[in-house]
Amino acid sequence: MTTEFNPAPTDPEAAAEEPTTPMDAPSDGASFVVVANRLPVDRTTDDEGEVSWRTSPGGLVTALEPVMRRNGGAWVGWHGAPDEKVEAFEHDGFQVVPVPLTADEVEEYYEGFSNATLWPLYHDAVAFPEFHREWWDAYVVVNKRFAERAAEVAGEGATVWVQDYQLQLVPQMLRALRPDLKIGFFLHIPFPPVELFLQLPWRRQVLEGLLGADLVGFQTAGGAANFLRLSRNNAERKVKGDAVEMPDGRLSRARAFPISIDAQSFNDMANDPEVIKQSEALLEEIGNPEIVFLGVDRLDYTKGLRQRIRAFGELFESGQLDPSKTVFIQVATPSRERVEEYRKLRDDIDLLVGRINSHTADLGRDPIVYRHASFGRDMMAAMYRIADVMVVTPLRDGMNLVAKEYIACHDDPEGALVLSEFAGAAHELKQAYMVNPYDINGMKDTLLKAAADSPANRRRRMRALRKQVFTHTIDKWADDFLTELRGTGH
């Protein structure tokens, strides 16, 4: 199944700037193609050494799988192991099309340009973005490889949906190869303010890459507005409303499509008898406190963990939250462990939690239960069930689906959501208790308010939040985007 991968050398500047020779559509090509950095499957090996593939957990896969099965679709992406080539294969009714990456490309395209340049820049430069020409070169080369692979598998006039910040050059490259295609792009993270985006040395190339799409989707209207302003002023395109006029007469539209979750699936999981048992055992394990606060995040500097934990520490140390009656559970899923910035964050959080617990622990029970670990969806649902107050306070976030997962899983009408103003979800979940995560005193006041608010007020807020989440699902998000895409390009 696997062979050594030795890519042909590519001139990155030529790949980014020069036209690409159009290709013919394959006669048996897919009518719907998703292009994403990662494939929707994980490889497993059994005791006998037999290799198989299972569907990855995640809302995007869940939402798009039915569309792909109905349309004989294909998913183009990296399979997760460097220096290895895997042949395309059929999985659960659609085609899986692996794109190989070398170890150097993983380091420079993915860990470098995608996650040390674009990620911090697009998250309001919470951490300093690094600009390295060799990272950009790798980004161009890899984007070209993804575009070529998508062009090879897409049928005549197919719809291709490109996903996220790692592949922003693919729309333009793909259009040069296959002008017959309908191309959409969705950015899952924030799109930055104009002044920040202009720091990027390759800003024009990224804009031109995105404008190759017929429809560019963003989490918020503000992200779409930033992109349209840049298209007018920096890509020198004529913009009318949400449409950018392209030299070939095509229109590239930019709109907000806030992503969501399969709310009913989460609710069903939270009410499974086994999950209920897990939630009861978890409550007993943490001492059956009167109030449970919960935070669930990747261990990432954009999530505001330092500020959040400091706020709880001050509330416990001052006695405004009674450590004998209150527990704050913080789950921090390991992330990018090889990156120095993330290792430093992990060490900082470990020290901060240890100091707070050593000062305020009561009868051997820690007021902050910190878990730097990954948990399955059933255990996460159990945690959502028992959380009286969910705390989602990123410094910047494209959407933040944890907030929506909590609402779907927490049937108790008196639950409460404390939500950062700077999460994309804040534009939809308006009945949450809003905070500025940089204002620690303000956060402390809001945490206390959410915990002590009247039952009637909490019920009113939660009803509105649940209506929003159960009405605007990930299926609706995908359907809205693809319906809009079908009507674009003219």
DSSP 8-state assignment for residue 269: H
Q: Kindly list the distances between the CA atom of residue 326 and the CA atoms of 286, 384, 450, 478, 489, in Å, as whole numbers in the listed order.
A: 10, 16, 13, 40, 55
% pLDDT > 90, the chain: 81
Q: Indicate if the pLDDT at residue 47 is higher than 90.
A: no
User: What are φ and ψ of residue 47, in 5° steps?
Assistant: -65, -25
pLDDT at 317: 94
pLDDT at 43: 87
Residue 86, SS3 per DSSP: strand
Quote the tokens at residue 81.
């192991």
Quote the tokens at residue 100.
């190989």
pLDDT digits (tens, 9 = 90+) for 67-124: 787 777 999 999 999 999 999 999 988 999 999 999 999 999 999 999 999 999 999 9
Q: What would the mean pLDDT of 286-293 be, rounded to a whole number?
A: 96
More confident residue, 311 or 62: 311
Q: Indicate if the pLDDT at residue 8 is higher than 60.
A: no
Let me know if 204 is exposed, middle or buried by CB neighbors in 10 A (0-12, 13-18, 19+).
middle
pLDDT digits (tens, 9 = 90+) for 203-229: 999 999 999 999 999 999 999 999 999
Please provide the distance, in angstroms rounded to a whole number, between the alpha carbons at the two ends of the chain. Answer: 43
Q: Are 35 and 150 in contact (CB under 8 A)?
A: yes
Q: How confident is the model at residue 3 (pLDDT cuts 50, 70, 90)?
A: very low
pLDDT at 135: 98
DSSP 8-state assignment for residue 321: S
pLDDT at 70: 78
Number of C-beta neighbours around residue 50 at 10 A:
8
pLDDT at 261: 92
Quote the tokens at residue 228.
């349209």
Lowest-confidence pick of 96-110, 238-252, 333-347: 333-347
* Contacts (Cβ under 8 Å, ≥6 apart) of 94: 30, 65, 68, 69, 72, 73, 74, 75
Quote the tokens at residue 155.
């049928």
pLDDT digits (tens, 9 = 90+) for 134-173: 999 999 999 999 999 999 999 999 999 999 999 999 999 9
Let me know if 27 is exposed, middle or buried by CB neighbors in 10 A (0-12, 13-18, 19+).
exposed
To the nearest 10 degrees (0 to 180), the angle between helices 305-318 and 340-360 is 10
pLDDT digits (tens, 9 = 90+) for 365-406: 899 999 999 999 999 999 999 999 999 999 999 999 999 999
Nearest Cα neighbor of 92 from 115, 123, 70 is 70
pLDDT at 17: 56
Cα R_g (the chain), whole angstroms: 23
Question: Rounded CA gap, 279 and 379, in Å?
Answer: 8
pLDDT digits (tens, 9 = 90+) for 21-42: 788 888 789 999 999 999 999 8
Q: How confident is the model at residue 490 (pLDDT cuts 50, 70, 90)?
A: low
pLDDT digits (tens, 9 = 90+) for 344-375: 899 999 999 999 999 887 767 899 999 999 99
Q: Indicate if the pLDDT at residue 63 is higher than 90.
A: no
Question: Rounded CA gap, 245 and 342, in Å?
Answer: 41
Q: How confident is the model at residue 2 (pLDDT cuts 50, 70, 90)?
A: very low
pLDDT at 15: 56
Per DSSP, helices labelled H in 81-202 are 103-105, 119-122, 133-153, 170-177, 194-197
% pLDDT > 70, the chain: 94
Mean pLDDT across the chain, nearest whole number? Answer: 92
